[in-house]
Amino acid sequence: MCEESYEDVTHMLFDCPKAGNVWLSCSLVDKVNSVMHNNNTVAEIIFALLQELPKEKAEQVAKNLWSLWKSRNLRIWQNTSETTQTITARARQVLADWREANSRKMAAGAAGVIADLTADNSLQIAGGQRVLSSVGQWAKPQYGRLKCNIDAAFSEHLNRVGVGLCIRDSVGNFIKAKTLWTNPICAPDLGEALGLLQAIHWVHELQLSNVDFKMDAKKVVDYFNKGSNDVSEFGVIVDECRRCCNVYFENSKVEL
């Protein structure tokens, strides 16, 4: 980003003048410099910051690191140069969104309004908001295969759907992960189906073929494995998921 020095991770996140301006903008530059003086590797610097700072500042550190890394990737892959203001504004917005999502979740739990598990393994709470259940634990795929976990979240406030994807191998080692947003918000089953379709295309782009897919949307999984002749938008999307799986992969399955 500065074109003044050999780039390693420490330079990109802390030593680069643009990175320094990011830390200066949130009044953390002195703490960063102090920690860098007493630690050698980037991992030591990051963990020292997270351990020594109060919770709110540690959260800010994490979002700054993410935003700097994203800016670096935009420069490399899309030839897009961002200002310090853009990098810090994105970090603040992501942090604000994250805090709001967690405050809503805590408020719902504290109010004791969680009701029964719905048919698609989500929880229905007051006001019609849905939160995902934590039923079951992650199960390893067969030896030699990979598993892609898919999860969707729905924000009425932001009018968008978020999808998280994570691939791990047969012993649980992390392989790849991805998050993405789409808008406007849609029906939960439709959003989960779109998440599955996006996961299938992403795995294909990674040139992986020995992948199974796991999600907690029962309606999507049931229709993928047994359903047919649903001419609704939901049915068309899941039919496309099934078609792509048959074309792209060998013996891949979608399961709860």
What does each C-alpha distance from 155 to 12, 57, 108, 183 come to in angstroms?
Answer: 33, 26, 14, 10
Count of all residues that appear for the chain in the document: 256
Q: Are residues 97 and 144 in the same domain?
A: no
User: What whole-number distance in Å separates Cα of residue 166 and Cα of residue 141?
Assistant: 13
Q: Are residues 140 and 245 in the same domain?
A: yes
Number of domains in the chain: 2
* Residue 3 in domain: no
Helix, strand, or coil (residue 168) = strand
* Residue 175 in domain: yes
> How far is C-alpha 47 from the geometric centre of its chain's CA atoms?
21
H-helix segments, the chain: 9-10, 17-25, 29-38, 42-52, 55-78, 84-111, 188-205, 218-226, 233-248
Q: Are residues 136 and 222 in the same domain?
A: yes
Q: Are residues 143 and 232 in the same domain?
A: yes
* Residue 1 in domain: no
In this prediction the pTM is 0.51
Q: Are residues 140 and 183 in the same domain?
A: yes
pLDDT tens for the 256 residues of the chain, in order = 887 778 889 999 998 999 999 999 989 999 999 999 888 889 999 999 999 999 999 999 999 999 999 999 999 898 899 999 999 999 999 898 888 877 766 665 544 433 333 334 444 433 444 444 444 577 889 888 999 999 999 888 888 899 999 999 998 899 999 998 888 888 899 999 999 999 999 999 999 989 999 999 999 999 999 888 888 899 999 999 999 999 998 888 999 8
Q: Are residues 47 and 16 in the same domain?
A: yes
Q: Are residues 82 and 140 in the same domain?
A: no
The pair of three-digit structure tokens given for residue 106, joined into one six-digit string: 């805590």
DSSP 8-state class, residue 226:
H
Helix, strand, or coil (residue 160) = strand
User: What whole-number distance in Å separates Cα of residue 94 and Cα of residue 82?
Assistant: 17
Domain end position, chosen among 77, 108, 139: 108
Position 105 scores a pLDDT of: 61
Q: Are residues 97 and 214 in the same domain?
A: no
134: domain range? 127-255
Q: Are residues 140 and 251 in the same domain?
A: yes
Q: Are residues 191 and 96 in the same domain?
A: no
User: What whole-number distance in Å separates Cα of residue 188 and Cα of residue 100?
Assistant: 20
